[in-house]
Amino acid sequence: MGIVVYPGSFDPFTHGHLDIISRAAKIFDKVIVAVSVNSGKKPLFTIEERVAMITRECCHLENVEVGYFHGLLVDFVKEKNAQAIVRGLRAVSDFEYEFQMALTNRNLSPELETIFFVAQPMYSFLSSSIVKEIAGLGGDISGFVSKGVAEQLRIKYTNKKT
Ligand code: ADP
């Protein structure tokens, strides 16, 4: 049922992201995870680290591809011949921003749809920023990210302190 692009910062990749990708991969022929290079935030992980991290975490899903984009998302979507953008909705707090983005992207590219997946209740509080905050304070993040990502976070924060 077509190709979709799932864009985001993924800094770092969490169980919430994997849940959206796994569900989208069951419905669509191909899911292209697209790491955004120019989001305003200063990332903890480089683009290369995030692409490698997501590729590793999604290697069991055959129809998932990972890349990154500079500039406009709608241009990347066109270049990939995708028909829709996939986003996750956690709570009412996500809604306003997501609604604005979806309308803006529709304005830029009228035939492009944005499809929302509602977060699983168990992950609806989970965000990359919360994970970084807990990891930075030395807390247990094993319920939120994979072992591999947890280890990468541990290394980042250990190096930061020294
Ligand atoms: P961005 O900076 O573009 O919001 P994120 O990496 O934070 O990028 O999120 C990418 C997408 O994944 C967004 O649509 C976001 O709402 C969704 N998302 C993030 N965390 C979760 C989660 N725990 N459950 C479901 N969707 C999520």
Owner of token pair 């990347």: 76
* Domain range annotation of the chain: 3-161
Q: Which of 20, 69, 95 to mutate to test the pocket of ligand 1 (most atoms within 8 A of CB)?
A: 20
Report the pLDDT value the prediction gives residue 130, as an integer from 0 to 100: 96
Summarize pLDDT for 121-142 with one digit per residue, the tens: 999 999 999 999 999 999 999 9
Residue nearest to atom 22 of ligand 1 (CA): 16
- Give which of 114, 98, 117 is closest to 106, Cα–Cα: 114
Q: What's the CATH architecture for 3-161? A: 3-Layer(aba) Sandwich (3.40)
Among this protein's residues, is 161 annotated catalytic?
Answer: no
Supply the pTM of this predicted model: 0.95
Largest CA distance in the chain: 50
Task: Give the tens place of pLDDT for each residue, 2-49.
Answer: 999 999 999 999 999 999 999 999 999 999 999 999 767 789 999 999
Q: Are 12 and 123 in contact (CB under 8 A)?
A: no
